Amino acid sequence: MNEAENDQEVVRMEAISLAFGKEKVLDGINLSVQRGERLVVMGQSGGGKSTLLRLTMGILVPTSGQALVFGQDVARLKRTALNDLRRRMAMVYQYSALISSLSVHENLALPLEEWTNKSKEEIDGIVQDKLALVRMDHVHTKLPSELSGGMRKRIGLARALVLEPELILFDEPSAGLDPISSTIIDELIVELSERTNTTCVIVTHEMGSAFRIATRMAMLYEGKIIYTGDPETFREAENPVVRQFVEGRTHGPITDHAPA
């Protein structure tokens, strides 16, 4: 076990910048996530929040800086080591990203079949448990296309849980859901994280959801983290950008000074 893991630091971003061609998406991000924490990263749509998660997963490589996950620089890892690292984390996608040709049961069984030597009975048991956890244990044989958006999101969450990851990344977990489904997902995230001490990084722009989930919040604006703090200080922050975002005002620094 290396130093970073002893320190309980799960993710550490050091001066991360990322540009797609001439378009700079992230500009010197410094961020640290501790074990068991639920960090909510907020920011405008298209502001680079999801990009931050993809950098953490090693799907994108930063233009400069480094993203350390469990103390390892994801961009420098060889394939085998990177896949071993990904085994310890999971991502819940905005549109679920369930494999459309597989049934709900097969979708959940897939990571277990590919990563473990568990018997079919054990796998079926785990799949059943995780589906029950998200209250979806009646849809085993259905295809993702036969489910509603909210149901798919819950299945996506269940799939992320089957390998019992130490870190889960959520991309807009409650976007586009009705208030009840949204609250169910939020409560599931909190319950799960508290019960298993799982670290969660959630990107969202839904304020209600953010305050329900977060133990700490960060504001991403113009490619930089401009503010971090616990939900209470965040709510009362004096920073004009944070204020405008929290209050959802149409006038303020974000709209008056649109990013180039």
Tell me how crowded residue 55 is: count the other CB atoms within 10 A of its CB: 26
The single-letter DSSP state of residue 147 is S
CB of 107 to another protein, least distance (A): 10
Q: What residue has token string 């919040």?
A: 217
Packing angle of the helix pair 149-161, 104-115 (nearest 10 deg): 20
Nearer residue to another protein within complex by CB, 54 or 243: 54
Q: What are phi and psi of 42, to 5 degrees?
A: -110, 155
Nearer residue to another protein within complex by CB, 15 or 99: 99
Three-state secondary-structure class, residue 141: coil
C-beta of residue 190 within 8 angstroms of C-beta of residue 205: no
Stretch that binds another protein, among 67-75, 89-97, 175-183, 210-218 (CB under 8 A): 89-97
Nearer residue to another protein within complex by CB, 84 or 187: 84
- x/- mask, another protein, residues 100-119, rule CB under 8 A, reads xx--------xx--xx----
Distance from C-alpha of 47 to C-alpha of 224, rounded to nearest angstrom: 10
Which listed residue (15, 61, 99, 132) binds another protein by CB under 8 A?
Answer: 99
Nearer residue to another protein within complex by CB, 152 or 212: 152
DSSP output for 23-52: EEEEEEEEEEEETT-EEEEEE-TTSSHHHH
CB of 190 to another protein, least distance (A): 23
C-alpha count within 13 angstroms, C-beta hemisphere, residue 134: 28
With CA atoms as reference, report the closest residue to 151 among 49, 255, 159, 87: 159
- Residue 90 is a binding residue for another protein (CB under 8 A): yes
Three-state secondary-structure class, residue 65: strand
Nearer residue to another protein within complex by CB, 164 or 187: 164
Nearer residue to another protein within complex by CB, 43 or 165: 165
Residue 124 region, left (φ>0) first, then alpha (ψ -120 to 50), else beta?
alpha
Q: Hey, what are 110's tokens?
A: 């897939």
Which listed residue (33, 41, 93, 109) binds another protein by CB under 8 A?
Answer: 93
- x/- mask, another protein, residues 214-253, rule CB under 8 A, reads ----------------------------------------
| Contact set for another protein, span 52-81 (CB under 8 A) | 54, 57, 59, 79-80
Which listed residue (97, 143, 175, 226) binds another protein by CB under 8 A?
Answer: 97
Which listed residue (64, 95, 135, 191) binds another protein by CB under 8 A?
Answer: 95
Q: Which residues bind another protein (CB under 8 A)?
A: 54, 57, 59, 79-80, 82-87, 90-91, 93, 95, 97-101, 110-111, 114-115
